[in-house]
C-alpha cells in the first residue's frame, strides 16, 4: 500500500473515531406501559388508537427528587403533539430530578368523553400504585398538560376520586387526585366566549349536553380540594385565548387554592419549551422555581418561623430575611418581609427543618427621604440556625459594619 493510501485510511479512521466520540449520546428509550392490559373501558377495537399507554422517563437515581408528573400532550383531542409537548418536556423534567410519564390518551372522533379523562385518571393511579418501583412519592405525583392536553390535565385536577377500595385491580384502589397541576397555554373552558371549538367538538361531538359542557368547563369546577396549580400562557395566543388561564387562576383565588400564573406578552400558541425565545422560554425556569418553592423538589419538612432582626442593636425597619437549607440545594428556601424588626413565616411555606443559613437584606427605612443608596445584604454567611419541627422563634443579631453593597 502506498504512503498516500495508508495516510488516507488513517485519516478516514480518525474521522470516523472523531464522529463516534462527538456524536451525541442518546438517552435510553423509555419503557412503554399499556394502562389497561385487558382492554380500556369502552374500547371500540384492538388497534393502537384503542390502547392508552404511558411512556416512562426516569431521571438518574442520584438526581431523583421523588416527584413524578403525568404529561398530557396537546392536539385539540384529535392528534397528540407527543414530541415537543411530550418527549422533549419529559427529558427536561428529568434534568430537574422529576420522573415523567407521557400519556397517550384516546382521541376523537373515535372516542369522546369520558375516555380521555379515564386514561388520565388511570395514569395517575398507575404512577401512585407503582410509586416505589418508579422512585416517586405517592404524595408528590402531579399532572401537566399543553393546550387540549391542558384541558385534560385541568379536568383531572377538578374531577377525581379516592379510588375503589373493593376493586380487584390494585391500580383502581388508589386515588386519582393529582398532588399538583401544571397547565401550559391550556384549554380551560368549553363555553363561550373563549372556548376552543375544535377541542370541544372532538371531545363532546357536535351537539353536546349543555350540562356536560358546563361540567367540563373547568373554571366552574375549582373547589378548596383542588391541588396547587402553575399556569403559563402568552397574551398573543390566537389559538387558545389567554382568558382560559386567567379564568382558572381567578377560580383558584376564589377557592383559596395555591396558584401561580405567568403571562408573557409575546409568543404564539403551541410553543412547547420555547427554546428559541429568550423571554418566553424562561417559563420552564419559573416552573422549576415554583416546584422548588412549593416543596415538590425536596423531601424536607417545613416549619413555621417568626422572630426579630436587629442590626447594631437597632431593628431592621424594612427588609427581607431568607432561610437557605444547607443540607440540600433543592430547598425549599423560605423568606419573609421584615417590618419594624419583626418577621413571620407560616408553616406551609416555612423554613426547611434542619440546618439553615440566614441571609438578611436591608431595604432602608420607610421615611419621606432615602436612607440607603441600594438594598444591602447583611453578611449572613456565618449566621446559622437549626429549624425544629413545630413553631420556631428566633432573634437575629447582626453587627452594623458587616454590610455588603
Residue 360's beta-bridge partner residues?
A: 321, 378
So what's the pLDDT on residue 369?
78
Integer-rounded Cα Rg, in Å, for the chain is 25
Please determine, for residue 11, whether its predicted confidence score (pLDDT) is greater than 80.
Answer: no
Percent of the chain at pLDDT above 90? Answer: 79
pTM here is 0.88
> Residue 262 has what pLDDT?
98
d(CA 249, CA 221): 12
Which DSSP state fits 369? S
35 contact partners, CB below 8 Å, separation of at least 6: 51, 52, 53, 54, 119, 122, 123, 126
Question: Which cell numbers in the block locate residue 196?
Answer: 376552543
Burial label, 222 (beta-carbon count in 10 A; 0-12, 13-18, 19+): buried
The residue-averaged pLDDT of 243-255 equals 98
Q: Residue 1: pLDDT above 90?
A: no
Which of the residue ranges 158-167, 263-272, 351-360 would you say has the lowest mean pLDDT? 351-360
Q: What is the pLDDT of residue 49?
A: 97
Please calculate the CA angle 125-126-132 and round it to the nearest 5 degrees: 110
Contact assessment for residue 271 and residue 234, using Cβ atoms and an 8 Å cutoff: yes
> How does pLDDT run across 137-196, given as a tens digit for each residue?
999 999 999 999 999 999 999 999 999 999 999 999 999 999 999 999 999 999 999 999
Which pLDDT does position 328 carry in this prediction? 61
| Residue 9, pLDDT score | 44
Q: What is the pLDDT of residue 380?
A: 52
Neighbours of 208 (CB within 10 A): 16
Choose among 179, 97, 178, 106: nearest CA to 149. 106
3-state secondary structure of 198: helix
Domain boundaries, the chain: 31-293, 302-404
d(CA 96, CA 92): 7
CATH of domain 302-404: 2.60.40.1120
> What CATH architecture is 31-293?
3-Layer(aba) Sandwich (3.40)
Q: Can you give the pLDDT at residue 232? A: 98
Task: Write the secondary structure of 254-266 as one string of H (helix), E (strand) and C (coil).
Answer: HCCCCEEEEEECC
Grid look-up 441571609 returns 359
Question: What does 118-162 look like in DSSP terms, one character per residue?
Answer: HHHHHHHHHHHHTHHHHT--TT-EEEEEETHHHHHHHHHHHS---
Does a cis peptide bond (omega within 30 degrees of 0) precede residue 46? no
**Tens digits of residue pLDDT in 83-132:** 999 999 999 999 999 999 999 999 999 999 999 999 999 999 999 999 99
Amino acid at each position: 500500500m502506498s504512503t498516500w493510501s495508508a495516510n488516507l485510511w488513517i485519516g478516514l479512521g480518525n474521522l470516523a473515531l472523531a464522529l463516534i466520540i462527538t456524536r451525541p449520546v442518546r438517552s435510553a428509550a423509555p419503557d412503554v406501559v399499556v394502562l389497561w392490559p385487558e382492554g380500556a373501558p369502552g374500547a371500540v377495537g384492538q388497534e393502537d388508537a384503542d390502547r392508552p399507554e404511558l411512556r416512562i422517563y426516569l431521571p438518574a437515581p442520584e438526581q431523583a427528587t421523588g416527584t413524578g408528573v403525568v404529561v398530557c400532550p396537546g392536539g385539540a383531542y384529535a392528534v397528540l403533539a407527543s414530541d415537543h409537548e411530550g418527549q422533549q418536556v419529559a427529558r427536561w423534567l428529568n434534568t430537574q430530578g422529576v420522573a415523567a410519564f407521557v400519556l397517550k390518551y384516546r382521541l376523537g372522533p373515535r372516542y369522546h368523553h369520558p375516555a380521555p379523562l379515564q386514561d388520565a385518571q388511570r395514569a395517575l393511579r398507575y404512577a401512585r400504585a407503582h410509586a416505589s418501583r418508579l422512585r416517586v412519592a405517592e404524595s408528590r405525583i402531579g399532572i401537566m398538560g399543553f393546550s387540549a392536553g391542558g384541558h385534560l390535565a385541568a379536568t383531572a385536577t377538578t374531577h377525581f376520586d379516592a379510588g375503589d377500595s373493593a376493586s380487584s385491580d390494585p391500580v383502581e384502589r388508589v386515588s386519582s387526585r393529582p398532588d399538583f397541576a401544571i397547565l401550559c397555554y391550556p384549554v380551560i373552558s368549553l363555553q363561550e366566549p373563549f372556548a376552543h371549538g375544535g377541542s370541544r367538538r372532538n371531545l363532546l361531538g357536535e351537539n353536546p349536553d349543555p350540562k356536560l359542557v358546563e361540567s367540563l368547563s373547568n373554571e366552574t369546577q375549582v373547589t378548596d380540594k383542588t391541588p396547587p396549580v402553575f399556569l403559563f400562557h402568552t397574551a398573543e395566543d390566537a389559538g387558545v385565548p389567554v382568558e382560559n388561564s386567567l379564568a382558572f387562576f381567578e377560580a383558584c383565588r376564589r377557592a383559596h387554592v395555591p396558584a401561580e400564573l405567568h403571562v408573557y406578552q409575546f409568543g404564539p400558541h403551541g410553543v412547547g419549551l420555547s427554546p428559541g425565545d429568550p423571554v418566553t422560554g424562561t417559563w420552564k425556569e419559573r416552573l422549576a422555581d415554583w416546584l422548588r418553592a412549593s416543596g415538590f423538589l425536596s423531601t424536607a419538612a417545613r416549619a413555621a418561623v417568626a422572630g426579630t432582626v436587629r442590626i447594631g442593636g437597632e431593628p431592621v425597619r424594612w427588609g427581607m430575611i431568607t432561610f437557605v437549607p444547607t443540607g440540600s440545594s433543592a430547598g425549599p428556601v423560605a423568606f419573609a418581609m421584615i417590618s419594624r424588626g419583626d418577621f413571620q413565616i407560616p408553616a406551609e411555606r416555612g423554613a426547611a427543618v434542619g440546618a439553615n443559613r440566614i441571609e438578611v437584606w436591608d431595604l432602608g427605612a420607610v421615611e419621606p427621604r432615602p436612607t440607603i443608596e441600594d438594598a444591602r445584604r447583611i453578611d449572613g454567611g456565618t449566621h446559622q440556625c437549626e429549624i425544629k419541627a413545630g413553631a420556631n422563634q428566633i432573634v437575629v443579631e447582626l453587627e452594623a459594619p458587616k454590610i455588603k453593597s
